[in-house]
Structure 1
Amino acid sequence: MTFHELNQSYFAWMCQLVSNERYSKRLSYRKLLTHLHEVEFTYTLPMDGNRAEDGIDLRYRFGYENDYSEPMIASGLDDRPCSVLEMMIALSMRCEEQIMDDPDIGNRTGQWFWDMIDNLGLGNMSDSKFDNSYVDEVLQRFLNRDYKRNGEGGLFTINRRGLDMRSVEIWYQMCWHLQENFRRAR
């Protein structure tokens, strides 16, 4: 397998984790997902480095689940920083597996991912409506933390007064969002 084929396989694996008829409404979002994978996840709060590490670890999870050796993953995939797509998928998986797991409902990794996409304002960026400039604007707003105090325009929005989501690490933003919007959040 060439490194190009490995990268294609990895991208397809990530996409299938979050894209199915249940969450993507039978629309294709390949252009958006590709673009999210091309943009480096940068952060200003030190603890958000954990989100980047989770994104990098996603590569090794892919390798483990698909019987690729760690050296192959290290040389074929782990040659660049974490992408926005990797961070968001890894965060969605952590949300599902560590906080919101409910066997009666099933795996909702895609729900958490598309919830973030909608919160960013990218939910309408299907392939037929994809606007590269708009997506870049939205991502820069998110990465620079130029969204509203309540998180609107970022990954998570809350109604709690007195908090400035721009100064809070992504993990806590997610926890507060879940607590406010989903009964099963623990």
Structure 2
Amino acid sequence: MTRNELIDQYFDWMYQLVVDNRYSKSYRKLFARLHDTEFTYTIPMDGNRAEDGIDLRYRFGRECSYPDAMIASYLDDRPCSILEMMTALAIRCEEHIMDDPDIGNRTGQWFWSMLVNLGLGSMYDAKFNRYRVDRILERLLDREYGRNGKGGLFTVNNGRDMRTTEIWYQMNYYLSEVIREGRVNI
């Protein structure tokens, strides 16, 4: 297997984790841009989200029976992308906090909640606008979204300034609100 074949397979694997058959439109251009954009951060603890994104590469390798050495050589040669960070965060949300076998796997739901809050939910291939996507991603990385998180990954109404809150706590505040308000199946 060549490096490019493994990269393509990894991308397809991430795409399938969060896009299911409910979506008749393709979002591959958006996902490619998310994957081409490095996840940078200013709050030190958000480095954990980058590490989760890097670990996602090795999870892919284990699930697809590729040796760690191949993953390290072919995939682990660049920083974490926004796509990797968001996918890993959605997985962590589902598996470590919201897991409920009676409901099923909602990893895609958590991912799309973030994507929609960013303002990218309608950015399917036929409507893809790279300039707009790049500006939205800059806003995310520079934390130029609303105090309540509107325009970032998570919007909450708890009075906290989400621009100065690490992503892990943003997600937990968001989950607390959606559970309390009954906006999610639990």
Which TM-score bucket, shorter chain as reference? Answer: over 0.9
In structure 1, the partner of 2:37 is: 39
Q: TM-score with structure 2 length normalisation?
A: 0.96
SS in 1 for 2:145: coil
Task: Measure, in 2, the Cα distance between the counterparts of 1:106 and 1:64.
Answer: 22
Contact conserved, 1:156 with 1:173, CA < 8 A, in 2?
yes
Moved over 2 A (4+): 182-186
In structure 2, the partner of 1:77 is: 75
SS in 2 for 1:21: coil
Q: CA deviation at 1:182?
A: 2.4
Task: Measure, in 2, the Cα distance between the counterparts of 1:100 and 1:20.
Answer: 19
Task: Measure, in 1, the Cα distance between the counterparts of 2:15 and 2:121.
Answer: 15
Question: Is structure 2 residue 146 aligned with structure 1 residue 151?
Answer: no
Q: CA deviation at 1:8?
A: 0.6
- Listed as ranges, the matches of 1:10-89 within 5 Å are 10-22=10-22, 25-89=23-87
The 1:165/1:174 distance shift into structure 2, 3 A limit, reads same
- How many residue pairs get aligned? The number is 183
Task: Measure, in 1, the Cα distance between the counterparts of 2:108 and 2:24.
Answer: 14
In structure 1, the partner of 2:92 is: 94
Structure 1: gaps (5+ residues): none
In structure 1, the partner of 2:130 is: 132
Task: Measure, in 2, the Cα distance between the counterparts of 1:46 and 1:185.
Answer: 33
Contact conserved, 1:99 with 1:185, CA < 8 A, in 2?
no
Contact conserved, 1:31 with 1:127, CA < 8 A, in 2?
yes
Task: Measure, in 1, the Cα distance between the counterparts of 2:111 and 2:21.
Answer: 14
> Which amino acid letter does the alignment assign opposite residue 138 of structure 1?
I
CA RMSD of aligned residues (A): 1.3
Q: CA deviation at 1:181?
A: 1.0
The partner residue of 2:168 within 155, 171, 184 is 171
Structure 2: gaps (5+ residues): none
In structure 1, the partner of 2:4 is: 4
Q: CA deviation at 1:185?
A: 9.7
